[in-house]
Structure 1
Amino acid sequence: MAFLSLLIVGLIFGTGIAVSGMANPAKVLNFFDVAGTWDPSLAFVMGGALTVAFIGYRIVLRRHGPVFDDRFHLPATRRIDRALVGGSALFGVGWGISGFCPGGAVPALGLLEPDALIFVLAMLAGILLARQLRRMGGA
């Protein structure tokens, strides 16, 4: 049942990403081009997502626990540290250069977008590198 739930949620999320244009790197890059061909429509997508998340968290966190796990997995700290700022900056630079974020790239794979495959492979390589550096004590 948990797998079916994850599949349904993933399909809804991926469909929303594809319909909103977040899987189209040209649309995303136009959103960032405020001095040129700026496309503000993604601001409404992000605003809608923030609204749904804000309300959803308020409702879900009132429950005693999640349906398919023993506890909620929330961040243990609210501290803003070097790793958080650096990771956020790296995410933003990658998104601005490629037009993809992980949430848009994975559904774009389903749309057979070749650039999405390159992005996802690079993202996975970065994840593996970061884990290796953390094990070595470098991060």
Structure 2
Amino acid sequence: MKLHLVALLSGTLFGLGLGLSQMIDRDRVLGFLDVAGIWDPTLLFVLGGAVGVTVIAFRFVLRRQHPLLGDRFYIPTKQGLDASLIVGAAIFGIGWGISGYCPGPAITALVLGVWNPVLFLVAMVIGSLAQKWFATNASQLRPRQNA
């Protein structure tokens, strides 16, 4: 129960931070990506603040044997790049550039009462399900070679 409560509080704090920094405003995000037009540097300051807090906090957090409410830290161990990582990052970037949303801000933006985040989230779920289907059926899609 404690873990769920901490997750709820963390998500709420994250959502409030997104709202306060106006990162749920897709026009603000698209303005940051428009480097050839009227560039809006707001997102750069938000990112800088997040990176600064992370760099400082992780030095203390990772010194612990385990998290406060867990038995171990889940830290990525993968060292190399593969096609699925590169393609996934490209699709994420294209989707972010077209819509002005990524998952956290889109969920938070549902409170605005507009359709853009709803459409983004529906497309994200469909894309996730399609990726899962292709990942499990990839071997059946490859052409068979005759021996």
Q: Does 2:74 correspond to 1:73?
A: yes
Equivalent pairs, count: 138
State the identity as a percent. Answer: 43
Tell me the equivalent position of 2:53: 52
Deviations 1:75-115 (A, max 9, x none): 12121221111111111110000000112111111333321
Q: Which residue of 1 aligns with 2:128?
A: 127
With 75-84 and 96-105 compared, the bigger mean Cα shift is at 75-84
Indicate the structure whose relative CO is greater, using CA pairs within 8 Å and at least 6 residues apart. Answer: 1
- TM-score normalised to structure 2 length: 0.87
Q: Which residue of 1 aligns with 2:107?
A: 106
Match of 2:30 in 1: 29
Letter in 2 for 1:81: D
What TM-score, normalized to structure 1?
0.92
Aligned-partner Cα distance in 1 for 2:59–2:134: 36
Aligned partner of 2:144 in structure 1 is none
Could you tell me how far 1:18 is from its partner in structure 2?
A: 1.1
SS at match of 1:21: coil
Using the TM superposition, give the Cα deviation of residue 15 of structure 1 relative to its aligned residue in structure 2, in angstroms: 0.6
Aligned equivalent of 1:116: 117
Q: Write out per-residue CA displacement over residues 53-87 of structure 1, whole angstroms, 9 at most, x where no aligned residue.
A: 22222221111112222221221212122111111
Runs (4+) off by over 4 Å: none
Tell me the secondary structure at the aligned position of residue 136 of structure 1.
helix
Deviates more, 1:89-98 or 1:47-56: 47-56
Which runs of 5 or more residues in structure 1 are unaligned? Answer: none
RMSD (Å), alpha carbons: 1.4
Change (3 A) 1:87 1:37: same
Deviations 1:104-129, CA, capped at 9 Å, x for gaps: 11111133332101101111111111
Bigger CA drift: 75-84 or 116-125?
75-84
CA distance in 1, matches of 2:124, 2:118: 10
Inter-partner Cα distance in structure 1 for 2:132 and 2:57:
31
Q: Which moved more, 1:112-121 or 1:8-17?
A: 112-121
